[in-house]
Structure formats: structure tokens, C-alpha cells
Amino acid sequence: MKINHDLSSVAIRLITFLLFWAAAAADSLSGAGPAAKDANDWPTRLKDIRRGGMTSEKLVLPLLQSWVYTTSRGPLPAWSESPARHDNYHFYYDLKPRQNFDRCFDVAVVGDSVYFGSSSSGAVTCLNAAQGGKEAWTFFTDGPVRFAPQAAAGKVYFGSDDGSVYCLDAADGAVVWSERAGPSGEKFWGNERMISVWPVRTSVLVDGADVFWTAGLFPGEGMFLCKRRAADGSGGWTQTPVKPHQGYLLATSQFVLAPSGKSSPTIYRRDNGSSMGDLRKSQRDGGSWALITPDENIWSGPTVEGQAQRFKQDGKTFVASVKDANCLVAGALGVYYNTNSTIVRIDQHDHSTVWKEEHAYPNSLIVAGRHLFAGGMDQVAAFDTQTGQQLWSAPVDGNAYGLAVAAQRLYVSTDSGSIYCFQTDSR
């Protein structure tokens, strides 16, 4: 009996060790670490590096405003002009804006920590959601920060118009590493600030052990597509992209997708940075947003015709399009998009309309559990994903362009420079 007892003890210890090792290995391979272990975190814009805009987290309605953080100056977008109303050659009218990636201070959320960058102050700030949005730390760069940071493995990553990419300690904002991709610190006047000749006009994307970004807007001055080790900024490669890129980067295990504003997004191989071609059906496709579905199909838009287009993962095979889409979210929970006056759910296989409701919330769209949240002018609202019925709304100051759900809270970012936090009414 004693021998069997000893063998059982050894077996239990061995199983415990193997389970611990497997869990540690999974964290290492995923690059999740302590900053992204919780599936209910929202560590980058639209939840993940495929920009799906969906989370399984459920919020109990109604929600009440918990706090609001208001900056001293609102966003200063890189491209503030209205879109052209027509093209004298192609006769297009009322074109949708296609370089609108920095209209609010989008947030990344890990636990109670809320991170955002500012195009007006050039800073990245960490707020404590549990303490009423109190500032935990602020880090200043020498140029506008136009994209939400990404939190990963206890660090925060972002780029600036000063030409540098930064990796900070998520807890206190201390610099872990930084790099300037351009050949010098040369600057010029742009958007009321001195900015680098090689500004970082894409998000900084972290996936596992890798970090990616681009720098440079002017082909004649040089452009850069960079891959480094996320932990310390070493290694990797630097390539010359085929065009200037602007917008939030996306990635799968095989490729990185880089939006290009009014031009078509480009697909690059992760292993060496070589171009796999543009994502387009015609010469005038493009748009500053894109998303990758769970089956690795790609949506992008809006095109010059105001459409969102779907392609197979090769980026060359056109599948379908939806007209007048402003925002689109897609995942295992369904496919939804909004126009200036409607919100629509479509079947993700045959693209037939499941429901279409007259709701004027054209600015933003995400899904959390059974609720679809949408942002409009001076208001945010929740809808039932199955029926499209409006269930809740609340006022905000300005156009609600940024939405996030994490740790039982809804965050709303507006073009006035405000960040709202809503929570369940616990009375």
C-alpha cells in the first residue's frame, strides 16, 4: 500500500508539473502575459489585431455613467478636410472620408488600466477606471500620437509623429525601449506641430514575440516597414513598403495587412516583409479600415463607391460587398454594419439581410455578448443583436467614434476629447 501511495503522490506531482508547464508554454507562445490573460480585456482598438470588434463579455443593461475624463484639447486629426464631393473624371459624389483613423482618443483596456494617446498633446496617458478615471501616469512624445496603444505582456506599445516607436512599462510608463526608423531627426511643420519627415502613421501591432509598424509618408524621402522583437526591440527586419501606409495594422499567423488611407491596403509576409499584393477589386478601392474574419477572409472600406468589400484570404479573390457601410464588425457572433441612417445584420455565409433597422448611429460599432453598441452624434446606444431592437441609450458630448467593452464597463471616446465610462446600474 505504501508503494502505491508513493507512486500516486509522484503521479500527482508529475501531472501538476505538466499542467503548469503547459499553461506557461501557452502564455509564452501567445505572447499574452499578464497584460492580456483576461479574455475580457480590450488591449487594442476593436479588441484584437484582426479588428473584429467583438467580445463575449456581457453587460447588464441599463448602464449608468460612472465617470468622464475630458482632455484640455480635443483631437487634431491628420486629415481634417471634408471628402471631395465629386471627381470631374469619374463623377463620384458625396464620398465618405477614408483617412479618418484619428478622430477620437481610442482606448486600450487591461483590467482597471485605460490607455490612450493624444494627437493634440502628443502624450500617452494611463487612467485608473476603478478610481473614477484618475490619471496613473502620462508619457510625452515629441509629436502627435494618432493611434490607440496596444497593451501586451505588461507593456504598452505605440508610435508618434515624432518618428519613433515606444515600448513602455504598463505599470508606471517607464521606457523599456524605443526606436526611430528614419535616418535622422529631421522635422517639418505639419498639423500645427513639428513632426518627423518619417512619422509613424500606422498603429504599432504586437503579436506574440513580434512587433510591427511603418514609418514615412513621402516615397522620395524613404519609407519603412519594420519588424522587431517585442520584448526589447532587437532583431527582426526593415523593408521598404510599396506605398505610404496610414491606419490600424492587422495580422494573421502568415501576413500583416497595412491600410493606406485612400489607396488599397497591402498584404505583407510576416517572415520577411515582402509584398503579397494589394487588396482591391478596382483601381479606386481603398479605405483606412479593415478587419479579418475568423476564417481569415478580409473586409475593407469604404471604397470610393462607399462600399465595404470582402475578399478571400489570398487578398485577390473578391467575394461580396455591402453598400454605404461606415463601420463593420464580423466574427463568430455574426456580421453587422451601419450606414448614416440604419444598422444591419447580415448572414456571414450568403450575406443575406437578417434584419435592418432605422437607427441613426453612424460613427462606431462593436458587439459585446448579446448587445450591439453603436455611437452617433452626442449619443451612444445598445441594441439586441438578434432583433435589432434598441434597448438603451445615453448622452455624450460630441460624435462617439470610439467604443470598447472590458471588465464590465463600456468606454466611449468622442471627437470632443472626452472618454466616458459606463457601468451597470447597481441600485
- For the residues 295-308, what does the mean pLDDT come to? 84
Confidence of residue 51 (pLDDT cuts 50, 70, 90): very high
pLDDT number for residue 282: 66
Query: Considering the domain boundaries, does residue 198 fall inside one?
Result: yes
Q: What is the pLDDT of residue 95?
A: 66
pLDDT of residue 279: 83
pLDDT band for position 302 (50/70/90)? confident
Residue 25 located in a structural domain: no
The rounded distance, in Å, linking the Cα atoms of 417 and 232 is 32
Q: What is the pLDDT of residue 306?
A: 79
362, part of any domain: yes
d(CA 45, CA 261): 17
- Give me the CATH number covering residue 87: 2.130.10.10
- d(Cα 155, Cα 380) in Å, to the nearest integer? 30
Contacts of 172 (CB under 8 A, 6+ apart): 137
Choose the weakest-confidence range: 132-141, 180-189, 236-245, 310-319: 310-319
The per-residue pLDDT for 64 is: 97
Residue 270 — pLDDT band, cuts 50, 70, 90?
Answer: very high
pLDDT band of 320, cuts 50, 70, 90: confident
Q: Is the pLDDT of residue 6 over 60?
A: no
Residue 66 near residue 423, CB atoms below 8 Å: yes
Q: What is the 3-state secondary structure (H, E, C) of the chain?
A: CHHHHHHHHHHHHHHHHHHHHHHHHHHHHHCCCCCCCCCCCECCCCCCCCCCCEECCCCCCCEEEEEEEECCCCCCCCCCCCCCCECCCCCCECCCCCCCCCCCCCEEEECCEEEEECCCCCEEEEEEHHHCCEEEEEEECCCCCCCCCEEECCEEEEECCCCEEEEEECCCCCEEEEEECCCCCCEEEECCEEEECCCCCECCEEECCEEEEEECCCCCCCCEEEEEECCCCCCCEEECCCCCCEECCEECCCEEEEEECCEEEEEEECCCCCEEEECCCCCCCCCCEEEECCCCCEEEECCCCCEEEEECCCCCCEEEEEECCCEEEEECCEEEEECCCCEEEECCCCCCEEEEECCCCCCEEEEECCEEEEEEEEEEEEEECCCCCEEEEEEEEEEEEEEEEECCEEEEEECCCEEEEEEECCC
Q: Tell whether 17 is covered by a domain.
A: no
The set of cell numbers assigned to 196 is 518627423
Residue 27, pLDDT > 60, answer no
**pLDDT tens track for 343-358:** 999 987 888 899 999 9
- Average pLDDT of the chain is 86
State the CB neighbour count (10 A cutoff) for residue 359.
21
Per-residue pLDDT tens for 273-295? Answer: 999 988 876 656 667 789 999 88
C-alpha cell recorded at residue 82: 471634408
For residue 103, the tally of other CB atoms under 10 A from its CB is: 23
For residue 110, the model assigns a pLDDT of: 98
Phi, then psi, of 18 in degrees rounded to 5: -65, -40
Q: How far is CA 375 from CA 70, 234, 338, 364, in A?
A: 18, 40, 10, 5
Per-residue pLDDT tens digits for 151-191: 999 999 999 999 999 999 999 999 999 999 999 999 898 87
The pLDDT tens digits for 65-114 are 999 999 999 999 988 755 555 555 455 556 677 778 899 999 999 999 99
Instruction: Report if residue 2 sits inside a domain.
Output: no
Lowest-confidence range among 41-55, 108-122, 184-198, 371-385? Answer: 184-198
Buried b (16+ CB within 10 A) or exposed e, 124-138: bbbbebeeebeebbe
Least confident segment among 8-17, 43-52, 302-311:
8-17
Question: What does the chain come to in residues?
Answer: 427
Task: Say if residue 267's pLDDT is above 50.
Answer: yes
197 belongs to a structural domain: yes
Going by C-alpha positions, the residue among 210, 157, 168 that lies closest to residue 45 is: 157
CB 43 within 8 A of CB 150: yes
* Residue 26 forms part of a structural domain: no
Cα 114 from Cα 41, distance rounded (Å): 10
- 361, 388 Cβ separation under 8 angstroms: no
Number of domains the chain is built from: 1
Q: Is 170 contained in some domain?
A: yes
**Which residue would you say has higher pLDDT here, 220 or 98?**
220
User: What range does the domain containing 252 cover?
Assistant: 31-424
User: What mean pLDDT is predicted for residues 222-247?
Assistant: 96
Q: Is the pLDDT reported for residue 254 higher than 70?
A: yes
CB atoms within 10 A of CB 95: 18
With a cut of 60, say whether residue 36 has pLDDT above it: no
Alpha-carbon distance 164 to 138, whole Å? Answer: 17
- pLDDT (tens digit per residue) in 362-404: 999 999 999 999 999 999 999 999 999 999 999 999 999 999 9
Contact 300, 88 (CB under 8 A): no
- Position 14 scores a pLDDT of 39
- The identity of residue 254, as a single letter, is Q
The reported pTM is: 0.88
Q: Summarize the confidence of residues 41-52 as an average pLDDT.
A: 96
